[in-house]
């Protein structure tokens, strides 16, 4: 009896992520959702620049690699060209909330019928741990060696709250993957974000509060604890916008 | 039977693109190409196409990248400052070997510059423009008819060689009206097995990408791409020769500069000077062989440009500096007069250059 | 034969439209032609000019630096272009808006109170068409016959009711002595 197996939508290759990194969990959740909805054959994914840059090698569906921050624009083009396909982006915080903020906000306000998986781990991982737009006040990074000083570096951007203030987007939810309960919740949210697209309901973004033990300088367990103690209080979990149940939508 | 209609150059591009099967247009407002976007905004919804005013030039070119990755014909248009913003996306499109059309209706620069016609994006267009080793196929129309015809040609060549193409026009070409016979609707379908269409669970996944972390792999993609560029250089050079057979002075000019130069050549002939015009239609690939041949029987060249002298470098390279090349130019939105060109022709004819 | 026409005035006077009517008439007559507008940030009230070339030969440069037909509808335009006109050229002046005379004596000048005529006829926006009628009469660059066909092409279907009044204005200028 098979009790656990790799989702079909995930390629049978070793992932390059660091030990304890939660990208692997989120990749799996996305692939499970694709499997369960039977959309692998119609899915087209957009990989970001960041740690998930090589996501195109990990998902079994058709994939494109976008320039830094441009994934929502690339996804817009694909969806406009292929409305019958299921189009998703997978982006980190630097990609989505810093260099790509304009593309993010405008895809949301147009209510593009796409699905965005947004990994918020409060740091630039691939380039070696620089301050991200979502780094917490006081957080020590390579480019905020004395801690993020909000007087000079500003405050973290709460992406879900920000996007929820727009009339456009259909569904915005923040989840986390630091414990079993939260992982299950995240799975539900990600699946719903794909279902929304299948039903033509428009823009769905799932912000996943994640960990980066390597660049946070912690063990994987310490990192998960830090998510619980520091990240989630600053980035409360929950549904921030849901137009999908509204009449006539 | 179709008949000639009067159209602005910008509108002719738009209609020709639609007739070439382009159903996706992304842009951002900028003078002097706005009529093109306006035309698309009007027409696309009526023919089941997509017009989208993007949040920026950067977003627009990345939307183009997205559509191009699905294998459909797609374009964007802008003017000089906007095309600078698009360079990142153009580099990615070139690096991922995607066909797409970028239209640049040039205006004076650098910086915000002005809004009057210019040809000062020649280097940017013909030498790559963004980061990395790559080329665009660059076509330079010199009439409204060519604005239409070369738009269709741009799509055809982009598909054929899997590379971005650029229509390099200028403010006068975009704004002027001339009678134009619009090209027929194209129903050419090009096989694009690399396109992202969804696997339908019937093939392995397609990946559109320009990232190669192993240098030997990245090097190979560059060498392979340049093999393809060699084919373009061998097969696709286009130029027009006007009174070149016995010419002693060869005027080289493209776009609006070529129109002005033609007047000057006619006038020179009236005055007994054997002048001719070589008009590059493809700026990349540059008609180097034709320039080289002209260098065999001409006393010298006049490079007429709406810039501080950019194409002149390609003329010097192609002619191996066998004879003098005089620059006849205006910049910043000004256009050389036929008299100014005639003066340069006389300089070369009289051996004064 | 080649006519190099420069039309200049304020934005909003229908300078570009007058050029378009000429261009479309040239098209209808099967002539070679080009129409090149000035373009700039001012939508109304700034200066506007328009270069039209109508020829039996293919048009070289579309730019008219030295017109052989010059139409001016305000003083700044006369001041700017009077010297540029070709020797022996024909200059058309809206004498309602321009009180001074053309100083050159090597050109043919036609003074038409186009703006006043338009106001008197209750068509104040059509001074451009009145002066155009005179241009057609005196230059023969295009013929008056079949003007309606050109107007049909340049006036959008939505405004088709304006064709008659435009035609009337052109006729008024054509008949002005």
List, in order, residues 6 or more apart from B239 with CB less than 8 Å away: B278, B279, B280, B281, B282, B287, B290
With beta carbons less than 8 A apart as the criterion, state whether B275 and B247 touch. yes
Pick the CATH number of B5-199+222-235 from 3.90.1150.10, 3.40.50.970, 2.40.70.10, 3.10.20.30: 3.40.50.970
CA torsion C159-C165-C169-C172 (nearest 10°) is 160
Chain A (27-86) residues lying within 8 Å, Cβ to Cβ, of chain B: 40-44, 46, 53-54, 56-57, 59-67, 70, 73-82, 85
Reply yes or no on whether the pLDDT at B309 is more than 90.
Answer: yes
Residues of chain B with Cβ-Cβ distance to A76 below 8 Å are 52, 59, 63, 66
- How does the average pLDDT of chain C come out, rounded? 94
Angle at alpha carbon of residue B9, lines to B51 and B76, rounded to 5°: 30
Q: Count Cβ atoms within 10 A of the Cβ of residue B248 and give its class: 0-12 exposed, 13-18 middle, 19 or more buried.
A: middle
SS3 content of chain A, % helix, strand, coil (to 5): 40, 20, 40
Q: How far does C105 lie from chain B, in Å, by closest CA?
A: 25
Q: How far does B288 lie from chain C, in Å, by closest CA?
A: 25
Residues of chain B with Cβ-Cβ distance to A60 below 8 Å are 199, 205
With beta carbons less than 8 A apart as the criterion, state whether B298 and B351 touch. no
Q: Chain centroid to CA A18: how far?
A: 18
Which residue in C37, C24, C53 sits closest to B172, CA to CA? C37
Q: Count Cβ atoms within 10 A of the Cβ of residue A2 and give its class: 0-12 exposed, 13-18 middle, 19 or more buried.
A: exposed
Beta carbons of B62 and A106 less than 8 Å apart: no
Quick: pLDDT tens for B237-246.
999 999 999 9
Task: List chains adjacent to chain A, taking adjacency as at least 3 C-beta pairs closer than 8 Å.
Answer: B
User: pTM to 2 decimals?
Assistant: 0.95
Quick: pLDDT tens for A14-30.
999 999 999 999 999 99
Residue C14: left if φ>0, alpha if ψ -120 to 50, beta else—which one? left
**Closest Cβ opposite residue A78 in set B58, B69, B211:** B69
Q: Cα–Cα distance between A197 and A175 in angstroms, integer?
A: 19
Q: Is cis: bond before A125, omega within 30 of 0?
A: no
Strand order in the sheet with B325-329: B239-242, B275-280, B249-252, B300-305, B325-329
Regarding the domain delimited by B240-349, which CATH topology (the fold level of the hierarchy) does it fall under? Rossmann fold (3.40.50)
Reply yes or no on whether the pLDDT at C120 is more than 60.
Answer: yes
H-helix or E-strand spanning residue C51? strand C47-55
- How does the average pLDDT of chain A come out, rounded? 96
**Closest Cβ opposite residue B260 in set C20, C41, C63:** C63
Chain B (20-39) residues lying within 8 Å, Cβ to Cβ, of chain C: 31-32
Q: Chain B: which residues have CB within 8 Å of chain A?
A: 24, 26, 50, 52, 54-56, 58-60, 62-70, 72, 74, 88-89, 92, 96, 196-202, 205-211
Identify any residues that bridge with B280 across adjacent strands, giving them in sequence order. B239
Beta carbons of C36 and B4 less than 8 Å apart: no
Residues of chain C with pLDDT > 70, as a percent, come to: 97
pLDDT-derived band at A247, boundaries 50, 70, 90: low
Task: List chains adjacent to chain B, taking adjacency as at least 3 C-beta pairs closer than 8 Å.
Answer: A, C
**Closest Cβ opposite residue A67 in set B52, B88, B196:** B88
Identify any residues that bridge with C110 across adjacent strands, giving them in sequence order. C92
Which residue of chain A has the CA closest to B26?
Answer: A77
SS3 content of chain C, % helix, strand, coil (to 5): 40, 20, 35
The residue segments making up the domain with residue C55 are: 2-175
Helix axes C163-175, C127-139, angle to 10 degrees: 50
Alpha helices in C75-162 (DSSP H): 75-81, 114-120, 127-139, 147-154
Rounded to 5 degrees, φ, ψ at C87 are -60, 135
Reply yes or no on whether the pLDDT at B1 is more than 70.
Answer: no
Give me the pLDDT at residue A115, please. Answer: 98
- Positive or negative CA dihedral for C67, C73, C78, C79? negative
Beta carbons of A73 and B54 less than 8 Å apart: yes
Distances (CA, A) of A62 to A85, A246, B198, B201: 10, 32, 6, 10
Reply yes or no on whether the pLDDT at A159 is more than 60.
Answer: yes
* Domain range summary for chain B, segments of one domain joined by +: 5-199+222-235, 240-349
pLDDT-derived band at C157, boundaries 50, 70, 90: confident
Which residue in B252, B260, B245 sits closest to B279, CA to CA? B252
Quick: pLDDT tens for B57-106.
999 999 999 999 999 999 999 999 999 999 999 999 999 999 999 999 99
Q: Cα–Cα distance between C91 and B250 in angstroms, integer?
A: 37
Question: C69: domain CATH number?
Answer: 3.40.920.10
Residues of chain C with Cβ-Cβ distance to B337 below 8 Å are 63, 65
Q: Does A150 touch chain B (CB under 8 A)?
A: no
**Closest Cβ opposite residue B6 in set C23, C37, C60:** C23
H-helix or E-strand spanning residue C34? strand C32-37
Reply yes or no on whether the pLDDT at C43 is more than 80.
Answer: no
Q: Does A8 touch chain B (CB under 8 A)?
A: no
Relative to beta strand B300-305, strand B249-252 is parallel
With beta carbons less than 8 A apart as the criterion, state whether C67 and C93 touch. no
Q: Does B179 touch chain C (CB under 8 A)?
A: yes
Rounded to 5 degrees, φ, ψ at C48 are -135, 140
Chain C (6-25) residues lying within 8 Å, Cβ to Cβ, of chain B: 20, 23-24
Reply yes or no on whether the pLDDT at C80 is more than 90.
Answer: yes
Distances (CA, A) of C128 to B186, B208, B312: 41, 57, 44
- Positive or negative CA dihedral for A208, A213, A214, A215? positive
Q: E strands along chain B, which residues?
A: 5-8, 24-27, 50-53, 74-78, 100-106, 137-139, 164-170, 177-180, 207-208, 239-242, 249-252, 275-280, 282-284, 300-305, 325-329
Residues of chain B with Cβ-Cβ distance to C149 below 8 Å are none
Q: E strands along chain A, which residues?
A: 43-47, 62-65, 86-92, 115-120, 123-124, 130-131, 171-176, 204-209, 238-242
Quick: pLDDT tens for B144-202.
999 999 999 999 999 999 999 999 999 999 999 999 999 999 888 899 999 999 999 99
Residue A97 CB neighbour total at 10 angstroms: 24
Task: List chains adjacent to chain C, taking adjacency as at least 3 C-beta pairs closer than 8 Å.
Answer: B
**Closest Cβ opposite residue A81 in set B55, B72, B205:** B72
Beta carbons of C60 and B259 less than 8 Å apart: yes
Reply yes or no on whether the pLDDT at C44 is more than 60.
Answer: no
Q: Cα–Cα distance between B18 and B30 in angstroms, integer?
A: 21
Quick: pLDDT tens for B310-352.
999 999 999 998 999 999 999 999 999 999 999 999 999 997 6
Answer whether B5-199+222-235 and B240-349 agree in fold: yes
- What mean pLDDT comes out for the span B203-227? 98
Give me the pLDDT at residue A35, please. Answer: 98
With beta carbons less than 8 A apart as the criterion, state whether A210 and A224 touch. no
Reply yes or no on whether the pLDDT at A240 is more than 80.
Answer: yes
Please tell us whether the domain made up of A23-242 is placed in CATH 3.40.50.970.
Answer: yes
Q: Cα–Cα distance between B293 and B276 in angstroms, integer?
A: 13
- What mean pLDDT comes out for the span A55-77? 98
Which residue in A38, A34, A92, A90 sits closest to A65, CA to CA? A90
Beta carbons of B62 and A67 less than 8 Å apart: yes
Residues of chain B with Cβ-Cβ distance to C34 below 8 Å are 176-178
Candidates B53, B71, B91, B196, partner chain A, best to mutate (most A CBs within 10 A): B196
**Closest Cβ opposite residue B58 in set A57, A70, A77:** A70
Identify any residues that bridge with C72 across adjacent strands, giving them in sequence order. C8, C93
pLDDT-derived band at C89, boundaries 50, 70, 90: very high
Beta carbons of A70 and B59 less than 8 Å apart: yes
Chains B and A, touching by 3 or more CB pairs within 8 angstroms: yes
Relative to beta strand B100-106, strand B164-170 is parallel
**Closest Cβ opposite residue A61 in set B89, B92, B205:** B205
Strand order in the sheet with A43-47: A238-242, A171-176, A204-209, A115-120, A86-92, A43-47, A62-65, B207-208
The number of C-beta contacts closer than 8 angstroms across A and B is 133
R_g of chain A computed on alpha carbons: 17
Q: Cα–Cα distance between B105 and B11 in angstroms, integer?
A: 12
CA torsion B36-B42-B47-B50 (nearest 10°) is 70
Which residue of chain C has the CA closest to B32?
Answer: C39
Which residue of chain B has the CA closest to A85?
Answer: B198
Give me the pLDDT at residue A62, please. Answer: 98
Per-position b or e across B68-90, b if 16+ CB within 10 A of its CB = bbbbbbbbbbbbbbbbbbbbbbb
Which residue of chain C has the CA closest to B257?
Answer: C61
Quick: pLDDT tens for A171-208.
999 999 999 999 999 999 999 999 999 999 999 999 99
Quick: pLDDT tens for C11-34.
889 999 999 999 999 999 999 999
Give me the pLDDT at residue C41, please. Answer: 59
Residues of chain B with Cβ-Cβ distance to A75 below 8 Å are 66
With beta carbons less than 8 A apart as the criterion, state whether C85 and C66 touch. yes
Give me the pLDDT at residue A249, please. Answer: 42
């Amino acid at each position: 009896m098979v009790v656990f197996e790799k989702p079909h939508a995930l390629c049978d290759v070793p992932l390059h992520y660091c030990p304890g990194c939660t990208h692997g969990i989120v990749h799996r959740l996305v692939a499970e959702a694709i499997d369960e909805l039977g959309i692998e054959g119609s899915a087209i994914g957009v990989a970001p620049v960041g740690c998930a840059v090589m996501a195109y090698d990990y998902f079994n569906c058709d994939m494109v690699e976008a320039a830094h921050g441009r994934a929502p624009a690339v996804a817009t083009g694909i969806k406009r060209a292929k409305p019958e396909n299921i189009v998703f982006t997978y982006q980190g915080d630097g990609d989505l909330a810093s260099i790509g903020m304009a593309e993010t906000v405008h895809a949301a306000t147009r209510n593009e019928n796409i699905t965005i998986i947004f990994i918020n781990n409060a740091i630039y991982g691939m380039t070696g741990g620089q301050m991200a737009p979502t780094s917490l006040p006081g957080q020590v990074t390579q480019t905020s060696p004395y801690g993020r000083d909000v007087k000079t570096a500003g405050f973290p951007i709460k992406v879900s709250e920000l996007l929820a203030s727009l009339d456009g987007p259909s569904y915005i939810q923040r989840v986390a993957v630091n414990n079993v309960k939260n992982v299950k919740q995240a799975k539900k949210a990600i699946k719903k974000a794909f279902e929304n697209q299948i039903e033509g309901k428009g823009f769905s973004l799932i912000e996943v509060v994640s960990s980066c033990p390597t660049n946070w300088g912690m063990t994987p367990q310490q990192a998960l604890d830090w998510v619980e103690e520091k990240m989630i209080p600053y980035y409360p979990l929950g549904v921030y916008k849901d137009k999908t149940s509204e009449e006539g939508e | 039977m179709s008949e000639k209609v009067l159209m602005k150059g910008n509108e002719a591009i738009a209609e020709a693109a639609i007739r070439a099967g382009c159903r996706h247009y992304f842009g951002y407002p900028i003078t002097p190409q706005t009529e093109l976007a306006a035309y698309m905004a009007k027409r696309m919804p009526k023919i089941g196409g997509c017009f989208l005013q993007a949040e920026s030039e950067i977003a627009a070119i990345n939307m183009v990248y997205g559509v191009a990755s699905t294998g459909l014909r797609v374009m964007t248009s802008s003017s000089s400052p906007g095309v600078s913003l698009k360079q990142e996306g153009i580099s990615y499109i070139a690096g991922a070997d995607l066909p797409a059309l970028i239209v640049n209706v040039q205006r004076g620069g650098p910086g915000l510059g002005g809004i009057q016609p210019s040809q000062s994006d020649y280097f940017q267009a013909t030498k790559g423009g963004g980061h990395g080793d790559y080329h665009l196929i660059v076509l330079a129309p010199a009439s409204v008819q060519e604005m239409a015809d070369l738009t269709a040609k741009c799509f055809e060549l982009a598909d054929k060689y899997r590379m971005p193409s650029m229509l390099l026009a200028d403010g006068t070409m975009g704004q002027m009206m001339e009678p134009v016979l619009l090209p027929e609707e194209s129903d050419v379908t090009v096989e694009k097995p690399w396109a992202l269409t969804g696997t339908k669970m019937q093939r392995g996944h397609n990946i559109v990408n320009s990232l190669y972390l192993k240098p030997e792999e990245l090097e190979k993609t560059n060498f392979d791409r340049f093999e393809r560029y060699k084919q373009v250089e061998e097969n696709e050079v286009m130029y027009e020769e006007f009174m070149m057979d016995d010419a002693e002075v060869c005027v080289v000019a493209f776009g609006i500069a070529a129109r002005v130069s033609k007047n000057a050549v006619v006038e020179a002939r009236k005055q007994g000077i054997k002048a001719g015009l070589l008009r590059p239609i493809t700026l990349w690939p540059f008609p180097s062989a034709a320039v080289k041949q002209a260098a065999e029987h001409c006393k010298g060249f006049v490079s007429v440009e709406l810039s501080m002298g950019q194409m002149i470098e390609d003329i010097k390279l192609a002619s191996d500096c066998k004879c003098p090349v005089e620059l006849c130019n205006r910049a910043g939105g000004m256009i050389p007069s036929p008299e100014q060109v005639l003066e340069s022709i006389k300089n070369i004819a009289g051996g004064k250059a | 034969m080649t006519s190099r026409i420069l039309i200049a005035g304020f934005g909003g006077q229908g300078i570009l439209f007058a050029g378009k009517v000429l261009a479309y008439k040239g098209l209808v007559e099967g002539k070679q032609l080009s129409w090149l507008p000035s373009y700039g940030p001012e939508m109304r009230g700034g200066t506007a000019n328009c270069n039209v070339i109508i020829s039996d030969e293919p048009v070289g440069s579309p730019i008219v630096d030295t017109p052989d037909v010059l139409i001016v509808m305000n003083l700044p335009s006369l001041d700017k272009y009077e010297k540029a006109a070709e020797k022996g050229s024909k200059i058309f002046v809206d004498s309602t808006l321009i009180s001074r005379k053309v100083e050159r004596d090597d050109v043919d000048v036609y003074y038409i109170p186009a703006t006043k005529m338009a106001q008197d006829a209750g068509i104040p926006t059509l001074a451009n068409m009145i002066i155009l009628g005179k241009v057609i009469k005196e230059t023969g660059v295009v013929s008056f016959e079949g003007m309606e066909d050109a107007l049909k092409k340049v006036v959008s279907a939505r405004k088709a009711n304006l064709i008659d009044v435009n035609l009337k204005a052109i006729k008024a200028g054509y008949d002005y002595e």
